[in-house]
Amino acid sequence: MIILISSKIGQADIHAALGKSEYSYFFLMKDFIPALERVGTVIQVKNLAEIESLYAGYRAAGQDVVFLSFSPPHQVPIGLACPTIAVFAWEFDSLPFMAWDQDPSHDWRYVFAHTQGAITTSKETALLVDSAMQGCFPVISLPAPVWDRYAKLGALEGWPIEFAERQFPFAGIVIDSPILGLSADGLVRKPEPVAGPSEPGPVVKSAVENLLAPSLSLGAAWRLSAALLKGWWNEVRLEPAETTAQQVSPPPPESPLVESQLALEAKPEPRIIGVSGVVYTTVLNPADGRKNWVDLVTAFCWAFKNTEDVTLIVKMTHHDLEHYRVVLMTLLSRLAPFRCRVLVLHGFLEDEQYQALIAASSYYVNASSGEGLCLPLMEFLSSGKPVIAPDHTAMADYLNERVAFLLKCSPEPTCWPHDPTGMLFTHRYRLNWQSLMEAFRSSYQVACSNPAHYQRMSRHAYLQMQDFASIEHVSEPLAAFLQQILTANSAAQETRSARELDL
């Protein structure tokens, strides 16, 4: 069997595409490849002409061919001679059932009617597809088979909790709360003093003021603070500050504040980052409103305001630091002072660096309003790391109290993310902030006071993901499903040929 695959973003573009629309489908496709290779010969294609050319050539040689499009259904090519299957993730309780922009593909029923099958990454979404197509469309739910790649980081007996210093390498921009000199005074740029007869020495501003100054005018700072107080931080639109030749001198070179400022101006060389105590890690796109990253940071800092041996690592998956820098620094300044550590990483993590980050972590945290799969959450679980997360949408397929501190959420109306009308046709899950803060404290208590319980959670995570997301577990039903598609397509072609002969 020949299996053609494609995603909107390829290996060459992924570094620059972090945070952009559908960037995560590249990782989904990458994780499915080992299971697909057990089924047939996998060929990654770039365009429709290549698909049709390969299909014609292999069919002429008597080979079965199928095309898997790793993309949302409205981006799946239709009308191909090659049998086409949509592989997609979805985190809402209804499917788009109407067209807009004069494009019928936005009604996903239209796409399914013109393709041969679908693979979803959650049971809930598979049921939605089956219902929308009235049981007459081949669909299967399969998770990305990530366990085998991360199982070497875990152990059958589970991870023992570790408090000593651990290290991981990272080549990117690092924002580290202890060296920022956080203060609410840095949120507003103060008027420059009138020059007197003698010029004073260089003025050292706080790191927060230095970090905010390049992009935050006085009026913009006040508007940002007011918006934050109202909870509308994601609606703020900042105007660029006017640049002037007169700037306050930076701190002396030996000051740690220089590193925190220069780190945001140029990509640093690879460095070794040390962490100790209980370490919580999350990987998220700050442009994705579902991730609730502001709530996550505030709940952490509030839970551990007076606790030193605890760190939150936030790995931002976005190509542009300026997209969230001002919001982040303003948020941390408003939360200060706090004794816990917040460590924000901006940049691409290579596989070895990412695995070292997992090994250095105690827990993974997810506070989102919906997930189509959440690969990082599955990867940490596969490595034997317990988690804090809600058990809704796709996460309901693999989370329970044996592996997670479960968060409370409640449904609320929302729109499909790509719907330009903004109509409230579906639901997401509103996070209960108090339950997140309490989960931080409960998980910390388990790590510090009940290491045997922590290790049991680690063991359950490792074994549960082996049964759920190993290559062996996924490849067998995947092979049967693809064969079902090919058999049905051959039967349909024979029926069409017979009708043409009759005519």
- Residue 480 burial (CB < 10 Å; 0-12/13-18/19+)? exposed
What pLDDT is attached to residue 348?
86
Residue 303, classed as helix, strand or coil, is helix
What is the full DSSP assignment across 84-150? EEEEE---SSS---S-BTTBGGGSHHHHHHTSSEEEESSHHHHHHHHHHTTT-S-EEE-----HHHH
How many residues in the chain?
503
Q: Which CATH architecture has domain 149-469?
A: 3-Layer(aba) Sandwich (3.40)
pLDDT at residue 194 in the model? 55
On whether the CB atoms of residues 284 and 291 are closer than 8 A, the answer is yes
Among the listed residues 68, 88, 164, 4, the one whose alpha carbon sits nearest the alpha carbon of residue 373 = 88
Q: Write down the domain spans for the chain.
A: 2-144+471-502, 149-469
Instruction: Quick: pLDDT tens for 35-93.
Output: 999 999 999 998 999 999 999 999 999 999 999 999 999 999 999 999 999 999 999 99
Topology alike, domains 2-144+471-502 and 149-469: yes
How confident is the model at residue 256, as a pLDDT?
37
Distance of CA 393 to the CA centre of its chain: 15
Question: Are 345 and 176 in contact, with CB atoms under 8 Å apart?
Answer: no
Give 462's strand partners. Answer: none
| Numbers of helices and strands, H then E, in the chain | 16, 17
Per-residue pLDDT tens for 118-155?
A: 999 999 999 999 999 999 999 999 999 999 999 999 99
What is the phi/psi pair of residue 115, to 5°?
A: -130, 180
- What is the CATH architecture of 2-144+471-502? 3-Layer(aba) Sandwich (3.40)
Q: Is 302 helix (H, G, I), strand (E, B) or coil?
A: helix
Task: Catalogue the long-range contacts made by 117-120 (C-beta closer than 8 Å, 24 or more residues apart).
Answer: 117/83, 117/85, 117/86, 117/481, 117/484, 117/485, 118/73, 118/85, 118/86, 118/87, 118/88, 119/68, 119/85, 119/86, 119/87, 119/88, 119/478, 119/481, 120/88, 120/89, 120/90
What pLDDT is recorded for position 264? 45
| Maximum CA extent, the chain | 103
* Nearest of 350, 288, 357 to residue 318 by alpha carbon: 288
C-beta atoms surrounding 350 within 10 Å:
12
Burial 23-62 (b: 16+ CB within 10 A, else e): bbbbbbbbbbebbbeebbebbebeeeeebbebbeebeeee
Which amino acid would we find at residue 232?
Answer: W
Q: Is the peptide bond before 337 cis (omega within 30 degrees of 0)?
A: yes
Residue where the block lists tokens 């002969």:
501
pLDDT < 50 stretches in the chain = 14-17, 19, 198-205, 214-265
pLDDT at residue 226, as a whole number: 40
d(CA 287, CA 266): 22
pLDDT of 196: 52
What pLDDT, on a 0 to 100 scale, did the predictor assign at position 475? 97
